[in-house]
């Protein structure tokens, strides 16, 4: 049975990812800052199959302690899925320090700490697969998303470097770039849009799951787009 750590697990995409890995027979530790969301998530499976944990992923000590506990209890995870991220729309002239800090903390501070632990653990295990979620904005900074796009572009460069560092010891690192996803939050914020053109969270979860399987062993350092049925 594979052992998987999923961060950002209580969100809309996180729930789909957890469900897909449960269907694949994985033993999961679901991590999030949302206690209510974790409590709801915990109802999906027995605790011996799906454990939940509230962790501040921007805190180095907390992240290291989390992985030490996981390794001590069940060994080094075979896969790590990092879903944590955040969005703010603002032109540079209007971008506040608070919004900048929010974007950096959720998109990069957490990513750095998860990637560092993945490197440490996977190199020792001589195996392991990490998948992180970036965004199409990583390739094009449109009006109002410059700071967000910069964070997501940085994630891709981090993935590429991590993939090269892990490859000699048998580890892999890839990213998935979903288009606009069909989530309750997106439907509420864009009531006039057609959600039928958006990516389903289940389809994004399927791509993430595949990248952690042995069938994807030749894929390393990739950025896999999942735009949904209508290409942008």
Give the N- to C-terminal CA distance of the chain in Å, as an integer: 38
Task: Kindly report, residue by residue over 180-227, the tens digit of the pLDDT.
Answer: 999 999 999 999 999 999 999 999 999 999 999 999 999 999 999 999
- In whole angstroms, how large is the CA radius of gyration of the chain? 17
The confidence band for 230, taking pLDDT boundaries of 50, 70 and 90, is: confident
Backbone angles phi, psi at 34, to 5 degrees: -95, 100
Calculate the average pLDDT of the chain.
96
**Tens digits of residue pLDDT in 60-110:** 999 999 999 999 999 999 999 999 999 999 999 999 999 999 999 999 999
Fold of 3-226: Rossmann fold (3.40.50)
Q: Give the rounded distance of the alpha carbon of 98 from its chain centre.
A: 23
Q: What percent of the chain has pLDDT over 70?
A: 99
| Strand order through the sheet with 27-32 | 50-54, 27-32, 3-7, 79-82, 129-133, 172-178, 223-226
Give the dihedral of Cα atoms 93, 99, 101, 103; nearest 10 deg.
-100
Model confidence, pTM: 0.96
Percentage with pLDDT > 90 across the chain: 96
Angle subtended by helix axes 110-125 and 146-166, to nearest 10: 10
Neighbours of 71 (CB within 10 A): 17
């Amino acid at each position: 049975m594979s052992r998987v750590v999923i961060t950002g697990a209580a969100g809309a995409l996180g729930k789909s990812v957890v469900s897909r890995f449960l269907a694949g027979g994985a033993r999961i530790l679901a991590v999030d800052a949302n206690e209510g969301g974790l409590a709801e998530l915990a109802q999906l499976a027995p605790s011996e199959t799906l454990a939940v944990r509230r962790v501040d992923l921007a805190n180095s000590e907390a992240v290291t302690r989390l992985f030490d506990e996981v390794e001590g209890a069940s060994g080094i995870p075979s896969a790590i899925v990092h879903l944590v991220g955040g969005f703010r729309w603002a032109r540079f002239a209007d971008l506040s320090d608070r919004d900048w800090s929010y974007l950096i903390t959720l998109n990069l501070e957490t990513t750095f700490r998860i990637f560092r632990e993945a490197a440490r653990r996977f190199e020792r295990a001589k195996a392991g697969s990490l998948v992180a979620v970036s965004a199409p904005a990583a390739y094009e900074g449109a009006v109002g998303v410059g700071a967000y796009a910069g964070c997501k572009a940085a994630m891709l460069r981090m993935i590429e470097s991590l993939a090269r560092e892990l490859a000699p010891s048998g580890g892999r690192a890839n990213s998935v770039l979903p288009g606009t996803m069909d989530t309750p939050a997106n439907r509420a914020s864009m009531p006039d849009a057609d959600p039928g053109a958006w990516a389903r969270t289940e389809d994004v979860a399927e791509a993430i799951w595949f990248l952690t399987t042995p069938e994807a062993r030749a894929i390393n350092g990739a950025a896999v787009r999942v735009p949904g049925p209508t290409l942008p």
